[in-house]
Structure 1
Amino acid sequence: MLSIKSKLGCFIGVQYFRPPNPPTKFWEKDIKNIRNLGFKVIRTWLYWSKVNPRPRKWDFNIYDRFVEIAHRNGLKVLIQLVPESPPQYILSKYSYAYYMNENGQIVKPYALGMVSIGGYPGLNPDMPEVRKLIEKFFIKTVSHYSGIDVHLYDVWNELMPHYRIPALLYNPSTQDRFRKWLKKKYGNIDSLNDAWGGSTYTDWSQIEMPLKGNYANMLDLHLFHRHWIREELKWRVKLVKKIDDEAICLSHAAGGLATVTKTPYNIWDLAEIVDIWGTSDYEIDFYRAALLHNLIRSSCNGGEWWLSEQTGGRTWTLFGEKHRSKTFIVQKMVQAISYGAKGNIIWQYRPEIFGQESPNFGLVFEDGTYTERTKAVSSLAKKLEKYSYIFDNLRFDKPDVGIVFDWRIRSLEYTAFNDPGKFSERELLGWHSLLTDISIDVSILSVENIVEKGIDKNIRLLIIPLLIQDMENIMEKLIKFVENGGYLFIGPYFLVYNEKLYVNSSIPPYKVFGFKRREIYYPDKINISTIMNIDLKGWHLIETLELIDAEPIAYMGKHIVGVSKNIGNGKIYYIGTFLGHTYREENLQKFIEKILREASCRRFPKATNNIIVRKAYGGGGEILFLFNPTERSKNTEISIDKEAIEIVSDKKYKSKNGKLKIRLKQREAKILYIK
């Protein structure tokens, strides 16, 4: 029997019912229109307080009505389970179980966009009596809806309220879990004291989560919060599947790149737990969205992912701050598909009518009539259905360029600057944007997965923008990769710290890399000359290097600042500055393109005039995704000697002199099918 996932294929859906929006009088007409527009999935937020308003009272009638209308119109229902919305009688009785922040302040439940009827962020499930109540909410809900053919559940919206460092996990019950976690990790108190730099604890009961600290104890705190979130998600999924063995469980990260690069959770941890992983995406910048989509794709390791939310109209609160055009919205969806997303869900069909997010976000007008955005998204939805033989089975070449992503750096940056991701996000974004611009597909590799599983065999060039703390066996994995013919490009501060977060006496391991790091300078301008006659610009710092047996390739004045070394069948490059921050520099593109050619890396077909290209296969042909990331129209040419059909518009493009000439409006995407 086909699963729900298989039946849906590549689709567009909409968020619809989040009490009190919209009024029931609109449901029949709206939901019929939603299916007629080509949408396949309709989402509702099932608030705990709505179905269990008083002790021993469970009432699903309003949601049942919604499900009945949706099913009658041929729509699959996605239920967003919201335990972060307890009823008032529970909040009042268990007020001692409120979440607590890092300053020891309790977080009294309140109303916000996610829960405009109040109760957010709910109660801490580390209290056994609270966990039983949350469990009852899940059991009652899933038991009820498994009986009427609802099997799609998003079990945790955006991992809220734990989408920032530090997480809201400081109350006494969670402090107890922290101490147990530490005891399991270290075994005895002396080992913990040693790991934390020489603390003098004599009993586990003396330990509390540090408010401020050194890199070691703060990393333990953040690792525990990461563990807590992973275990909570695992518990929710297990609970749903115990009740309904046909259930498909989803979850998704919050609304932008920072909620992946600066958060207490690790997306690779979470993607393993759910059937479908995903993200909200409210980024305006094309390149930030591209990195976000690629991070989610990469964390799934070939599994299914959805763009779980993107706005259907203006954002955010009250007077709003940004109008999203029809081309912008369609481009975002096509961008997700080009990274392998199966689902795209619009937030939302009608504008909010109550709460902080009103009167914004709607795909249609307040009276339910269609906008130009409605028509554009509907057109894409119908084309995905018409060409399902292409989109339901899209295939992608495995990337042969990888970028290493280290979750731990955010903890060190938080401890040092109170800003997780201060350097690392921008450096990662710069490298990814550079490679996107020059038509290179990239896989994001978690350093922990490299240690556990090694480097994917298809990777030819591995870029490490920032890896400053050692990890068991990481050097062995990297050297083996290079010896077997891989190319390694490394940025500054490489393995400055050992696994215990003490500074290494040898930076980097010079016996392998053939150089020692010496002085570090912080000039206002960093201008680097290379032996390739390509001048580069660095950012923030420049490391000077002392040669052992490496070859110098880059200089700043009289100082050597970059080297290369052949090891086995491969090669290592090292340049001691932040290059990702300068990715718009044309010379950096030339420099990296030389290394890409040397490593024999593939590229997508190149389009002129800075149009972004991505490629897939389906329906017996090639699919090219073209993106104009700018706010002005552009003409472009692509070297293709065959006719192409643009799927969204059904327009045919004929090749002239081996080239296709195409015009893209501002923030427009096109999908070319070449048979």
Structure 2
Amino acid sequence: MNSRAATSTGSASATPFVHEGVAYGCDYNPEQWGPEVWAEDVVLMREAGVDLVAINIFGWSQVEPRPGEYDFDRIDTIIELLHANGIRVNLGTGTSSPPPWLSTLHPEILPVVEDGTTRYPGGRQAWCPSSPIFREHALALVEKVAERYGRHPAVALWHVSNELGCHNALCYCDDTAAAFRLWLQARYGTIEALNSAWGTSFWSQRYGRWAEILTPRLTLSSRNPGQVLDFHRFSSAELLDYYRRETAVLRRHSDVAVTTNFMVTSHIRNLDYWTWAPEVDIVANDHYLDHRLADPATELAFAADLTRGLAGGQPWLLMEQAAGAVNWQPHNLAKAPGEMTRNSLAHVARGADGICFFQWRASLQGSEKFHSALVPHAGTDTALWREVVALGETLDRLGEITGSTVVADAALLFSWEAWWAGDGESRPSQSVRYLEQVHAAYAALHRLGVTVDIVAPGTDLSGYRLVVAPALYLVSDAEADNLTAYVAAGGHALVTFFSGIVDEDDRVRPGGYPGAFRGLLGVTVEEFSPLLPGHVVGLDSGASASLWTERLRSTGAEVIARYRGGPLPGTPAITRNRHGAGDAWYVATALEAGALTDLLRTICQQARVTAVGPESPGTIEVVRRAGAAATYLFIINHGEDDIDLPASGRELVTGEPVNRIVRVPAGAVRVIREDPAS
């Protein structure tokens, strides 16, 4: 078990969010229904076991129907109704989408996209994060909400806005340009330092005054990569500043914990949540299965592990997921029987102490009318509703696991800055994408049954037996030194291609690739040699690879495998270097899944990494959580066959004792409170 101290998050003045047992909740939009439905909803919530309900997420136009006129009657009624029935409230500030009157009076709040055109109301998040007018009106609303409900006993958690930056993280308007210039002045101090960081001697881009700097709108050519990278950093920081301002208003009226829902998922990349996590009182995440991916269930596990990393290894909340299909993918697949339960308990296994859904009752109108809900259009005489009720009963039985933490002795380094920079416009191969390489490394460990902590590059790594750094294109000197020192002290590391190439300014590190990791890995790369899509190259180990090769030579590393074809036959493709007391492996190509799994199996064995579960093609997940008094083994069977695994203790889902072997039926989940000797 990794015994490192957890990272503290949030405000020291807030009361920590504490919930009895595993929270079971949902978003609730009573403004879409009449009072007769509200009464029915609360009865059904009690039947399902729902005990945490988010309201006022999109309430602005209802609460403030005209400028400066506030109507809280509906929220008053709903809060009292929930409170009377023992249901706690996750209270939204209501600011996520402005009412039509605000953009009508002040069209200058509307966001501007890369091509310089404006985006209009009719959807959601039609506001610029830097707009002083938007902020003035939004914070005035927060003040009114906090004044009214800041001391209400039903309010267990504050929910700032909603999915900040989902649609409007990057705005290119004049207000944003002014805020961007102020951020740059604070970052660099002088225009000369900025010119150096951005390399503006290239293409006659040198700036003489701050006023000359704009947002990186679309150009006739590729844009300055330093400017684009800093604009991503600024945009994340600007929305974080907005979150802090809402939080400051709430703090004046309430000591209840404050959070907002992150979007740690495969298709949202604009916020650097490593910088956000210390600002929330509890980390919360929204996650939806992405059926555009080949393996949505493994991506769910990755997202849950990354969310736990943001929480410093401590428990977190799943703020949103779908009971069935979503409405925004090209093909919105329904969940199979039992899949909602498996998805939910996969999040719990990986550290979530609360499971919530969007939404409670399926909408009859609007853009999300075909998004699933706990109460479907077909009502409660449905298989979905029966599974909703059964999930509530299961979560009740798992109450004792809350507060326990996940056990992992392998880590994967993940960086939003490396994602932004590595997927830039002018790079060696548009086919190489950062997140795909991260997912490939994670999936190999997942197939091996290895639980992984996902951490920032500068994290203390001393508690891990193995650290994997996939495609870490951008890395600071301190972050590179951190990994090097970890290996020198006896750790084991795997670094994959396109890592260590540039510093924080997206400036290439001279002397050969992989730049910051040359000494650690004992190799030098003279030239990249990407492969065309569809081309495959063989290795003398029998493995095959694609996407990428490199003109690499060893400067001390042992060569494990060489190319036997392609553009560089005989050139090293996989190496291992003894560095201090540890080993550093390098993979200079994109190994196919089986070969990468085989390599990581070898590395894990040498590093003495313990696989909690058996190897499987993604059909079996086994994760252990450890508490002060007991350990808990989660076994999730996504497959079509029953499985038997070694375990002893008490199974919490069924309440049955387990003696040496537990049978997990196809599609089921078992959670064993382990005997001390197991």
Tell me which interval the TM-score lies in, with the shorter structure as reference length: 0.7 to 0.9
User: Deviation digits for residues 240-292 of structure 1, max 9, x if unmatched?
Assistant: 122212x2212112383222xxx221111122111122222211510111111
Task: Measure the CA separation in 2 of the matches of 1:481 and 1:328.
Answer: 40
Partner of 1:115: none
Matched, 1:529 2:540: yes
Task: Tell me how far apart the structure 2 counterparts of residues 184 and 190 of structure 1 sit (CA, whole Å).
Answer: 13
Measured against aligned partners, the alpha-carbon deviations of 1:314-370 in whole angstroms (never above 9, x if no partner) come to: 331799832223411111110110111011112222211111211441222436424
Cα displacement (A) at 1:544: 3.2
How far apart, CA to CA, are the structure 2 residues paired with 1:518 and 1:508? 9
Rounded to whole Å, the distance in 1 between the matches of 2:113 and 2:450 is 43
Q: 2:388 aligns with which of 372, 377, 380?
A: 377
Q: Indicate conservation of the 8 Å contact 2:158/2:259, yes or no.
A: yes
Determine if contact 2:422/2:474 at 8 Å carries over to the other structure. Answer: no
For 1:669, the aligned partner's letter is V
State TM-score, norm by structure 1: 0.88
Which runs of no fewer than 5 residues in structure 1 stay unpaired?
113-119
AA paired with 1:404? L
Q: Which one of 634, 638, 642 corresponds to residue 625 of structure 1?
A: 634
In structure 1, the partner of 2:211 is 205
What aligned pairs does 1:439-478 form with structure 2 within 5 A after superposition?
A: 439-447=449-457, 450=458, 454-478=459-483
Within 5 Å, give how 1:291-330 maps onto structure 2. 291-316=302-327, 321-330=332-341
Name the CA distance, whole Å, in 1 between partners of 2:432 and 2:241. 28
Counterpart of 1:19 in 2: which secondary structure? Answer: helix
Q: Which residue, 608, 611, 615 being the options, matches 1:603? A: 611
Report the Cα distance in structure 2 between the residues aligned to 1:78 and 1:624, rounded to whole angstroms.
30
**Cα distance in 1, alignment partners of residues 212 and 110 from structure 2:** 23
- Cα shift at 1:2: 12
Task: State yes or no: 1:415 paired with 2:427.
Answer: no
Confirm whether residue 237 of structure 1 aligns to residue 242 of structure 2: no
Are the structure 2 counterparts of residues 89 and 623 from structure 1 closer, same or farther at C-alpha, using a change threshold of 3 Å? same
How far apart are 1:608 and its partner, in Å? 6.7
Name the counterpart of 1:117. none
CA distance in 2 between partners of 1:380 and 1:125 (Å): 38
Q: Provide the residue aligned with 1:513 in structure 2.
A: 521
Give the corresponding residue for 1:362. Answer: 373
Structure 1 residue 5 and structure 2 residue 17: aligned?
Answer: yes
2:672 counterpart letter in structure 1: L
Matches within 5 A, 1:251-650: 251-254=260-263, 256-259=265-268, 263-284=269-290, 285-316=296-327, 321-366=332-377, 368-388=379-399, 390-397=400-407, 399-416=408-425, 423-447=433-457, 450=458, 454-506=459-511, 507-508=513-514, 510-523=518-531, 524-530=535-541, 535-557=542-564, 558-579=570-591, 582-583=592-593, 585=594, 587-606=595-614, 610-617=619-626, 620-630=629-639, 633-640=640-647, 642=648, 645-650=650-655
- The 3 A distance-change label for structure 1 pair 25 and 538 is same
Cα 1:314–1:546, aligned 2, differ >3 Å: closer, same or farther?
Answer: closer
Equivalent residue, structure 1, for 2:10: none
- Secondary structure of residue in 2 paired with 1:210: coil
C-alpha separation in 1, matches of 2:536 and 2:229: 33
| 1:73 aligned to which of 40, 64, 85 | 85
Separation (CA, whole Å) in 2 of partners of 1:123 and 1:13: 28
Aligned length: 635
- 1:562 partner letter: I
SS in 1 for 2:642: strand
Q: Would the aligned equivalents of 2:362 and 2:376 in 1 still touch at CA under 8 Å?
A: yes
Per-residue deviation at 1:599?
1.1
Q: Distance in 2 between matches of 1:407 and 1:648?
A: 38
Work out whether 1:148 is the aligned partner of 2:152.
yes
Decide which structure has greater strand share: 1
Q: What SS does the corresponding residue of 2:171 show, helix, strand or coil?
A: coil
Output one character per residue of 1:116-150: Cα deviation in whole Å (capped at 9) or x when no partner: xxxx3244353434322211100101111124322
How far apart are 1:604 and its partner, in Å? Answer: 0.5
Rounded to whole Å, the distance in 1 between the matches of 2:410 and 2:318 is 24
Query: What CA distance in whole angstroms lies between the structure 2 residues aligned with 1:420 and 1:276?
Result: 37
2-side partners of 1:536 and 1:403: how far apart? 23
Post-superposition offset of 1:496: 2.2
The answer to whether the 8 Å contact 1:626/1:671 transfers is: yes
Hey, what's the Cα distance between the residues in 2 that align with 1:2 and 1:73? 26
Residue by residue over 1:511-546, the C-alpha shift from the partner in whole angstroms, topping out at 9 and shown as x without a partner, is 55332213443452122234xxxx332220112322
Aligned residue number for residue 293 of structure 2: none
Task: Tell which deviates more after alignment, 499-508 or 174-183.
Answer: 499-508
Cα gap change, 1:560/1:420 in structure 2, threshold over 3 Å: closer, same or farther? closer
Quote the sequence identity (%).
21
Q: Which residue of 2 aligns with 1:176?
A: 178
Choose which of 226, 238, 252 in structure 2 pairs with 1:216: 226
SS at match of 1:538: strand
CA 1:521–1:77 in structure 2 vs 1: closer, same or farther (change >3 Å)? same
Which of 88, 105, 120 is equivalent to 2:100? 88
Q: Which residue of 1 aligns with 2:68?
A: 56
Contact kept in structure 1, 2:229 and 2:420, CA below 8 Å: yes
2:528/2:549 contact within 8 Å kept: yes
How far residue 235 of structure 1 moved from its aligned partner, in angstroms, is: 1.7
Sort the Cα spacing of 1:457 and 1:289 in 2 relative to 1 into closer, same or farther, 3 A.
same
Aligned to 1:102: 114
Say whether the 8 Å CA contact 2:207–2:213 is kept in structure 1: yes
What amino acid does structure 1 have at the position aligned with 2:105?
Answer: K
Distance in 2 separating the partners of 1:543 and 1:404 = 22
1:375-420, Cα deviation, whole Å (9 max, x unpaired): 22322323333442x22243432x2211111222332344327999
- In structure 1, the partner of 2:257 is 248
What's the TM-score, normalizing by structure 2?
Answer: 0.87
What residue identity is the alignment partner of 1:230? L
How far apart are the structure 1 equivalents of 2:371 and 2:181? 44
Alignment partners' CA distance in 2, 1:420 and 1:154: 38
Structure 1 residue identity aligned to 2:208: T
- The aligned residue for residue 36 of structure 1 is 47
Distance change in 2, residues 1:371/1:652 (3 Å): farther
Kept after mapping to 2: 8 A contact 1:142/1:244: yes
Return the offset for 1:645. Answer: 4.4
User: How many Å apart are 1:485 and its aligned residue?
Assistant: 0.5
Structure 2 unaligned residues grouped into runs of 5+: 1-12, 291-295, 565-569
Change (3 A) 1:420 1:258: farther
- Tell me the amino acid that sits aligned with residue 132 of structure 2: P
Q: 1:469 to 1:86 in 2, by over 3 A?
A: closer
Q: Is the 8 A contact 1:526 1:539 kept in 2?
A: yes
Q: Give, as a single letter, the amino acid of the residue that structure 1 aligns with 2:298.
A: Y
Quote the offset at 1:61 in angstroms: 0.4
Maintained 8 Å contact 1:364/1:371: no
Classify 1:326/1:79 alpha carbon distance in 2 versus 1 (closer, same or farther; 3 Å): farther
**Residues 418 and 475 of structure 2 are in contact (CA less than 8 Å); yes or no, is this contact kept in structure 1?**
no
